Structure 1
Amino acid sequence: MAIELPDDLIALETRAWAEIQAGQLTVDTAAAVHEAVTALAGETGLSRYDVEMELKRAVRHAEG
């Protein structure tokens, strides 16, 4: 399933992923991603889980 992800959400997840890899994920960053994913799910009628999995796939596995 392809979900159209807004650029600002991709940027947030990219920041969160960089923080995770550095061992420095902040509560603020994690909360911002969660809130944005939840908002997009509500706007599109998709499940939050599906939106989050598509986002992680797009950011964390972009090369593969």
Structure 2
Amino acid sequence: MATIDFPDDLIALERTAWAEIQAGRLTVDTARAVHEGIAKFAQESKLARLDVEMGLKKAVRHAVEA
């Protein structure tokens, strides 16, 4: 899978969701916002939604610490 250049707002949404998941307090609103952001980005970029979701999770959850 090629590297995807995600917009900052989508990265921020996934970071929020990941923090909430780790804290055991993921909200429906956060989950919905991430899902809708992924769907919109996938449609606009003409990429498969699953590829976008997997790439986003990898970019946020497995980011190399600077």
Q: Report TM bin, short chain.
A: over 0.9
Name the TM-score, length of structure 1 as normaliser. 0.96
Rounded to whole Å, the distance in 2 between the matches of 1:52 and 1:7 is 15
Aligned-residue RMSD, C-alpha: 1.0
Name segments (4+ residues, structure 1) moved above 4 Å: none
Cα deviation 1:10-56 (Å, max 9, x = unaligned): 00000000000000000000000000000000001100000001100
**How many residue pairs align between the two structures?**
64
When normalised by structure 2's length, the TM-score is: 0.94
Match in the other structure for 2:51: 50
Structure 2: distance between partners of 1:36 and 1:55:
11
Identity of aligned residues (%): 66
Structure 1: any 5+ residue segments left out of the alignment?
none
1:3 is matched with which residue?
4
Stretches of structure 2 that go unaligned for 5 or more consecutive residues are: none
